[in-house]
């Protein structure tokens, strides 16, 4: 029996080192070599300082920027989560209607505009960095006006929206989407 206990302890130690230390170190090393940017959170730096991540949504409230979808956690990655309001909640319906009215008003749109769902509802994580190309196009006039873009520059921003939505839809299954952070970075580079 003593021999069996010693063998079991050796096996536990061996597999603990193999699966708990060696394997994670090997995989971390491979990922750091092959996908360094993504493995480190896709952080974007400007002048040596981190300004955001392309993987985590963040708040943009200025008229000069495209806005992301609402967040139930105020874009705090430490709190990641959704609202607890369900589909029958009158409070949720009121929030959605208020967000719809605000989106239409702040983007100078006709009252009968169909607002994409992602602009009036929060994502499950509260950190979704993407919106649909339609949602971006509905914001284009506001952004162009706030930045004083001429028709050529406005066309360039429209092309950026198109390029970003194509890149995302070709790489993954599902609907085309635009990363709001990347879009705002690109339009900053135009001016």
DSSP states of 109-175 as a string? Answer: --TT----GGGTS--SSS---EE-HHHHHHHHHHHHHHHT--HHHHHHHHHHHHHHHHHHHHHSSSS
Which residue ranges of the chain lie beneath pLDDT 50? none
Question: Per-residue pLDDT tens for 82-130?
Answer: 888 888 999 999 999 999 999 999 999 999 999 999 999 988 888 889 9
**According to the model, what pLDDT value does residue 37 have?**
79
Question: Quick one: DSSP state of residue 70?
Answer: -
**According to the model, what pLDDT value does residue 1 have?**
85
Q: Where are the domains of the chain?
A: 2-36, 41-190
């Amino acid at each position: 029996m003593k021999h069996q206990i010693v063998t079991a302890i050796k096996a536990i130690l061996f597999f603990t080192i193999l699966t708990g230390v060696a394997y994670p170190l090997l995989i971390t090393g491979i990922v750091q070599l092959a996908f360094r940017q993504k493995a480190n959170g896709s952080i974007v730096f400007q002048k040596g300082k981190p300004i955001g991540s392309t993987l985590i949504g963040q708040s943009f409230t200025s008229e000069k920027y495209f806005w992301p979808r609402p967040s139930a956690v105020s874009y705090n990655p430490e709190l990641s989560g959704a609202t607890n309001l369900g589909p029958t909640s009158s409070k949720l319906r009121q929030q959605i209607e208020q967000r719809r009215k605000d989106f239409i008003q702040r983007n100078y749109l006709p009252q009968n505009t169909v607002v994409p769902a992602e602009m009036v509802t929060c994502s499950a994580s509260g950190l979704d960095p993407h919106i649909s190309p339609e949602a971006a196009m509905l914001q284009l006039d506001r952004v162009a006006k706030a930045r004083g873009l001429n028709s050529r520059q406005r066309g360039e921003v429209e092309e950026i929206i198109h390029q970003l939505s194509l890149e995302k839809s070709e790489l993954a299954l599902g609907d085309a989407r635009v990363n709001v952070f990347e879009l705002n970075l690109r339009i900053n580079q135009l001016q």
